[in-house]
Structure formats: C-alpha cells, structure tokens
Amino acid sequence: MNFFSLLRSSSAAPVRSCSRILASEAGPSRHWAQLAARRRSFNTSTVYDYQRTEPTLYPRWINRAQPQQQMHTDETGEGRDSRSIKMDSPEDGKAPPDSSAPPSSSSSSSGDGSDGSSSDSPPPPPPPDPPTPATTSISKQSVPEIYPQVLALPIERRPLFPGFYKAVVVRNPAVVAAIKDMMKRGQPYLGAFLLKEEHADSDVITDINSVHPVGVFAQITSVFAANAGPGAKEGEGEALTAVLYPHRRIRITDLVQPGGLGSAAKVEAVENSSESHATEQLPTPPPSPELATPEPVPQASEISAALLQTSFLQSYDISIVRVDNLATQPYNKDDQYIRAFMSEIVSVFKDIAQLNPLFRDQITNFSINQVATNVFDEPDKLADFAAAVSTGDVQELQDVLESLTVEDRLRKALLVLKKELINAQLQSKLSRDVDSKIAKRQREYYLMEQLKGIKKELGMESDGKDKIIEKFKERAASLKMPEAVKKVFDEELNKLQHLEPAASEANVTRNYLEWLTQIPWGQHSPENYSISNAQKVLDEDHYGLKDVKDRILEFLAVGKLRGTVQGKIICLVGPPGVGKTSIGKSIARALDRQFFRFSVGGLTDVAEIKGHRRTYVGALPGKIIQALKRVGTENPLVLIDEVDKIGRGHNGDPASALLEMLDPEQNTAFLDHYMDVPVDLSRVLFVCTANVLDTIPAPLLDRMEVLEVSGYVSEEKACIAQKYLGPQAREASGLKNADVEIDPAVIDVLIKYYCRESGVRNLKKHIDKIYRKAALKLVQDLGEDVFPEPVAAATSTGSGTDEQKTVERQDAPSNEPAATETATPRADSSENERKVTTVARKPMEVPASVHVRITPDNLKEYVGPPVYYKDRMYSKIPPPGVSTGLGYLGNGSGAVMPIEATIMPGKGGLQLTGKLGEVIRESAQIALSWVKSHSNELGITATMDEQILNDKDVHVHMPEGSIGKEGPSAGTALLTAFVSLFTKTKVKQDIAMTGEISLVGQVLPVGGLKEKILAAHRAGIKTIIAPEANRPDIEENVPESVKTGIRFVYVEDVREVLQEVFRGEPVAEKWKDTLRY
C-alpha cells in the first residue's frame, strides 16, 4: 500500500471542522449539526462560549478581517443564545472528568460522536443588556488577529510550529490560575517561546534573553489536571496539562512586568494609559526582507481595547509580553526552486518512512489528526510539517521557525530531514548487521543439531554429555583423591548426569568438575636432595649470600635423611636489587621442583587468595589452587612476591587470608571458597620476598622463617658484574662474538661513583648502557656498507616458504600543528598497506678487525658524568659544632652524614632543618637535654646552678636537605656536635659514629651496620664508634675486606664516646676528673 497516497487521501478529506450552531430544541440548526457530525471522521471537542455577565464597551478581541456575524434565534423567540465551538484535538474522547469544570471555554469530549447541542447543563440566560444581536445558522470560529499582549509560556526541548498540537505541563500556581481564568473568560490564547538553555525548566520568563524571540501564538484547546488522583486536592500544588494549537508566528517586542493592572476600579485609567502607550509603541515594518512584514497598523482604539481585554492578567505573577505578528513573505508556488525543494522533502519522507516504522506512524498521526489541509500542496506548511515530525537539533528547528522566506524555510527543513534520513540509514544498517549475525548463529546451531542427530542415529557419535562424563571418570581414576573429595566428586557427577546441557546449572557443575579433576591429588615430582648438586646450582646463579645458601642446604639435608620434607615458609628480606626473586628460582632448580610465582603487592581482594563462591558469575578458585593446576604436582615451589606491600580494601584483608595458607599447622586442609573441599598444601615450599619487615602483620611474620639478604659489598658487586652482568649485557646487545671489553677498573669506578646501591640492579643498567653505546658507535663508524639492510633477502624469501601478507598501515600521527591526532595523511592510496612476514631476521657478524676497549678515561662518553663526586664534605678538620654520623638510605645503601650545629642569640630554642623525621628530632632533644643537665661536668658552666642557652638558640642542620632522614642512630653524633659547639673543640674528620642514646646517656644498638661501614670504608673513615651490642653483628656479618683499615670502638655510654672523640684535647683531660661513669 502506498503510504503517502494514504496521507494525501486522508488529508484531502475535511479532518477538522469549526462551526457555531444554535443550541435549540428544533429547527434547521439541528440539521446542520447532525450533518456536521456525520461528516466528521473522528471525535471532536466542544467548547461552550457564553456571553459575559457584565456589559462591556469593547469586544473580547478585535478581528478586523472578519466582521461580527449574526446569530438567529429560534422560532419560539425565547432569545436563548448559546454558541458551540467544535475544535479537533488529539485528546478527543480522552478528556479527564474535571475537563468540563470551567463554565466557559473549557474543553469537553464528545466521544460518542453526537452533535454539540447536547450538554450536561443548559447554558444560563444572557443578561438583558446589551440587546441580543441577530444570529446566523452557521458561524465560524474567529481567532484574534490583534493580540498585542499575551501570557508568555516558556517551553523546553523543541519549539512549536503553527498547525501542530502540543501538550505542555504547567506547574507554576500563578500560571495555572491565570490559564484557568483565561479559559473562563473565553480568551484561551498565549505565546509559546523556546528556552535557550537546554536543561532549563520554568513556567515564567524573568529575562527576555532567556528565550528565543520568535515563538507561536497558540490557543489552549483543552486543559486537565496533570496530578489528578485519589488523594489530590484542587488548588494545592495543582499542575495542569494544556493542549496547545499554534496559529501563527509571533515575535517578542517587550517584556511587561506583572502587577500594574490589578484593580477593577482603575479600568478606565488603565485603558487610557494603555491606549497612549500603544499609540507610542506601534510596530513599524522592518527594513530587512528576512524579518517580519507586519500587518497594516491597526487603530490605536483597537489596540487599547485589546490591551484592556487582557488587563486581568496583570493581577497574576506571570510573564506578559508584547508581541508582533510575523507573516510569511509572499512566494510563487510554481517557482522551480520551491517545487524542487518540495519534491525532495516528499522523497526524503518516503525514504525515512521505509526505514523507520516509528517515523512512519508519527507522520500518519500528524497528517490525520492535526493537519487541516493537504500540507504537500502548501510549501510553507510542508516545511513546518517536516520540522514538526523530525527529531533534529533544537537550534535547527528554531531556525526553521524563524525563517519567514519560504525558500529558506524549505532549505532548512530539508537539512533537518536529511540528517534524520542519515540517522535512520545508520540504524537500519546496524539492525541488519545484528539480524544477519543472529540468523547466521541460528542457522549454524540448527545444522549442528541436525548433524548431531544424524551421527547419533548412525552410531558414529554418542551424546556430548556422555563423553564429558566419561572424561571426568577417566581423570578421577588416575588421581588419588581423598575420601571426602571422592564423595563430592560422585555427587557432582551424578547431578551433571541429570541436568540438561543447556541449563545454566550444568555449566556451573561442569566447570567445578573441571577444576576438581585438574588438581594433582596424590601426584608429586621426584625431588633431588643432592647437596653437591644444590651447591653447584646456587653458586652458578648467585655470588655470596652464604647465609641463604646454608639455609637451603640445611633444608635439603633434613629432606635427605627423612625421605620427605614438609612445607616450609621462607621469607627473604632485603633491599631492592639484591636478587631475592632469583634466589627463589635457584632454589626450585636446585630441588628440581616445579616453580610458580605470583605477586600480592597492592592486592586488596580476599578472593584472590581464597577464591570466589560458586554462586557468583565467573567465579574462580584462588591463586594457590590455580598454581597447583598449572604445575600439576603437589610439591611445587611457590614464590609470593612483595608480601610487605599487600593491601587492604573493602573486600577484606588478604594478609589475614594468607595466615591459613602459610601456617604449617593449618595448610594440611586448606579450604578454598570455590572448591569447598580440603586441599593439602603441606608439601608446598613457600618462599616469600619483602623489602622491609615493618609493614608485614605480626601474625603473618610469626609464621615465616626470615632470612635477611643484605646488600653486596664492592668486591661482591665486582665479581657479579664480571661473571653474570657483563656476559648477559654483551649478548643482549648483539656483541657476543665481538671484541668489546670493559676494563676491571671501570667496574670499580661504576660501583664507587655511579652505583652505590646495595643491590646490583642499577649496576646492571649502567653495564647495559655501556654495551648499547658501544654497539651504536660501532654501527655509525663502520656504516651501512659493513652492516647493510637485508632488503633483497627479505623480498626473495617472500616467493619461497613465507607468503607475503599485508595489513592496514597504522602510522604515528604527524607532529605538525595542523595535522590530525588520529592519522597521517598519505599521498598515495597504494601505501595504505604494510607488508608482514614470519621470517626471523638473522643477526649480523661484527668484523674481527674491530676492537673496543672501555677504560676509566673514556667511561664518561658512555654513561655520562659521575653521580657521586665525594664521599664526605670535609677533607680537613671542620669547625667546632660539626660531627660525622653514619646513615642507612632507603635504597639499601649507607651514607656518611655530617651534622652541623651553631649557636645564636635567641630565647633558648632548638631549630632543626634538613628534612628530619620525628624520631631524629626527638634524638636531638634528648642529646641537648643531656648536655644541659651535665653542663657543669663538661666544663660549659662554672657552677651547678648556672644555666645555659637562656638567651641563645641552637640550630642543627643535616646537609642534603632534599633527602628525608629518619631514625634514632644519629643520637651519638648529635650529642658530640653539641658538646663540640659549647666547648669550642673541633672533631676530627676521619671519626664517624652511630648509635641511639637514652636520656641518661646509654648507647643503644642500631641496624644497617654493614651498609654504614661500607660507606665509611668508601669515604676513608679511620675510626668508627659503634654500640657494644652491635659487636657480634659487625664481627660476623661484615666482610674483612670492608673492615680493613678501620678501627672499631665499641661503647655503652656517651661518656665513652666523648672520651674517644676528644682524645688528646685539653677539655678531655678535665673530664677525667669530672665526667665519670
């Protein structure tokens, strides 16, 4: 069926009728009413308009184009005059019960199709004055052409167009009351203007710039309560739904502030003022043809009468505006451009209607219910019709409304429809693609089901579920499942046999059985307990680390004697780059065990350790169950990295979940949330790594055996670089067979001036950089003649075994400012593809005549200037108030840290600078307090009662202020600096000290002695003062090569520190008698 022929046929019939008939008992008017009712093709709304109960000097509105029409009285001469106005509305037959409440100009529904003479109550008799004019049988509803002041109603989302209904909801109480009053007075007219802000919502206009100046003059055809319900009360927050029928375009000329014409006693004065104002503000024709061409200027008396007629709106807190009518400029319907635009719009209508059924239904509703004439024959109405039914941009629709030239209006409407067509085509394409995919899958599924049925009938293949069940039984037969696990397996397998394959529970059960049969129940790999083999493997992979290697050998010796080894939990703690992770790999290789590694750094979900519940979609077991499935044995080595950085979130505490897994007393029956059966982890060797122990929870730390992996000394670093790092870097740089050597002195320079960290990771980076730089210089010096690009070889292999393929080019965007950020413009379309190959490129041989030597003299060309220039600030004896301490840096290395103190006028305060932490600040306070309390013994004051620093301030600074400093080990150095300052005695530059002090002067042990002593050795320190409690640690763990040339003094009290530091000074001779301990 031709859709648009239906539109034409339906629009050719009279779809809207307006007639004024006499509501009498009998007569010819009854015949006309019945005839009109039979000709109507749909329901009508009847609005009764009664005469005013008070006489007035002016009509309700002025209509110069249509003179006042006479009305006939009936034969009885009773003089009953009532007018019935029938107006079409989309809400015909659907009016709510309260739509007939207003006695004048309110909407009522004639759903039964009867004529308008019937009513629920007869109209009241008219007043005796003025006399009844002559009436006619049939009259036409009149719309005022002059309506200078109207209620301004802002609307949102999209503008209204003349001839097309629109329902709006009004919630402002003042606007609701004004609309009701307008309906009662028989003046249901207002101006509708589109809001400029997209999300604005208001029923009043506070600023004339908040709405578009061009809107429509609309008539309220019907109103009903929007919140009508069982508990709703009239007048209390009531909202109205008003159905508007726009008649013409209007333009706002002025925003009239409400509240000036509220008194009925001042009607005459208001009338005169309105008349004079209207005379002054008469509209004039605009100079531009694009603007409106106003109607002939009406008489001032007519405008004044119209202003008086709407003066009752001044008493409401609403928006009232002055408007001018906008008329469409004259046009020739036979113009070729106009006809071409109309034909194209109709064609686009047809295309959209074929693609979008919803759009087709919308056009049908508009054309049948709202358009009075055939819009396809009137260009201006066709443009409005196209904009009204489209869902285009709001600003584009407003432009169509503001266009007064028919050709321009058609052009803008066609643009809106074209965008609608593009959107409809895209939607149709997407719909076709989805339908084709669905149809393809359905067809494949149907054919596969047929194929299964055929094979089953021929006996070629059994049911898929039977094969799955048989597979699970075969897996279970090869495993040594415990009885509890075997029972669960049988129950789940029985459940799967009775479930349909398409059921969701079947997939859950099948996945569970997959995991249950892939855990290596009773399967383990043979272990190698050979001590010599383990020693060889550990020495091949690592240099030094005697403590760690001894612990692994102890573990193997116990296993060799017992024949079995229960799971152990070893925690390797040390600074970054010392090889903790690689130690775990070496242990697995030495034991000949399967290896699995996962990191818990930043982990916040308990489910990663304990698994998810099976009820969740996409549930999985925890990491340890996944590890057992991956390695296929019960006795792997599981490396858990970054235990000290485990997180805690809203999904639980993973550190607490590790307690069960890492506890030898509990992990014999580890219960995963997903598996829900006990799993034996006692044969798993867990190796954990951490940088510090402070952040590891105490219950978790208690379950692990801690092995401290301290930093390497210079000799160990040099050996590691020569045996491991150098060969690896040379091979990675393509110089394996080339004559490129690094002098051993270069390694010492790198360790001393570039890489002072306790680990070797930074040293490895610098060695890699040296070999890369050597490769670059080698290629640049020899040129492309020695190292040509194998272009010919690559193309020749394309015709052999390797088939040349191409892919779409994805080049990097150009750096030019005018270039786009997503693609690079290409001159030739043939360059849009890039060739790909599977042939590996062969390495090139370096000529034997090439010899490269890296020495300390040319090292700067490869790695740049040194990072560290000197190890200590003072090469000579520093001034009084300066001492030398030893610190431990966060990267695992030690440092020599000078402490400077000075005194200045003040109020006895202590000022600390150098980015010092809270603990080191407290150490400074303790040191100063001890010095104050023993000032007389130290010879600072002459008597016991004399006080120091009453009018002096002390300032303590530790250089390298950008580096944070924390810890109690600087206590002895701070106290020495204070004593040196107050006694004006210098401290030798080759004496360094470390140790925590108490308030009574005891020296307490500290940590990081190996790194601190290494830094002192590098700086040329001759004497180190350390706590007596640290003597075993220094003698056992610090290599002799580091202690060579250093004299160690072990102290228990700060008095011993002062005696040693100021040995040979005059002040020290006095302390022999006064400073005793």
Among all residues, which ones are annotated catalytic? 969, 1012
The letter for the amino acid at 826 is: R
Using CA atoms, how far residue 99 sits from 86, 209, 218, 222, 822, in Å, is 15, 35, 19, 7, 60
Residue listed under structure tokens 């000709």:
39
Distance CA 522, CA 185 (A): 96
Q: Which residues contact 527 (CB under 8 A, 6 or more apart)?
A: 559, 565, 591, 592, 593, 635
The letter for the amino acid at 1074 is: T
**The tokens of 1005 are what?**
């042990």
Distance CA 569, CA 567 (A): 7
Nearest of 661, 667, 685 to residue 565 by alpha carbon = 685
Nearest of 230, 128, 244 to residue 183 by alpha carbon = 244
Distance of CA 1008 to the CA centre of its chain: 44
Distance CA 132, CA 155 (A): 41
Strand 1023-1027 with 991-993, pairing: parallel
Q: Residue 576 carries which DSSP code? A: T
Please count the CA atoms within 13 angstroms of the CA of 15 that sit on its side-chain side.
21
Q: Are 767 and 876 in contact (CB under 8 A)?
A: no
**The tokens of 813 are what?**
């965007």
Handedness of CA 213, 216, 221, 222 (dihedral sign): negative
Q: What is the largest CA-CA distance in the chain?
A: 146
Residue listed under structure tokens 């080894």:
565
CB atoms within 10 A of CB 795: 12
Whether the ω angle into residue 130 lies within 30 degrees of 0, i.e. cis, is yes
**The tokens of 125 are what?**
């008799």
Phi (first) and psi of residue 538, to 5 degrees: -65, -35
Q: Name the CA radius of gyration of the chain, rounded.
A: 49
| SS (HEC) of 663-725 | CCCCHHHEECCCCCCEECCCCCEEEEEECCCCCCCHHHHHCCEEEECCCCCHHHHHHHHHHHH
Phi (first) and psi of residue 685, to 5 degrees: -95, 110
**The tokens of 285 are what?**
């024709």
Handedness of CA 770, 773, 775, 778 (dihedral sign): negative
Nearest of 185, 162, 161, 182 to residue 170 by alpha carbon = 182
Q: Are 81 and 24 in contact (CB under 8 A)?
A: no
Strand partners, 901: 956
Nearest of 756, 774, 768 to residue 854 by alpha carbon = 774
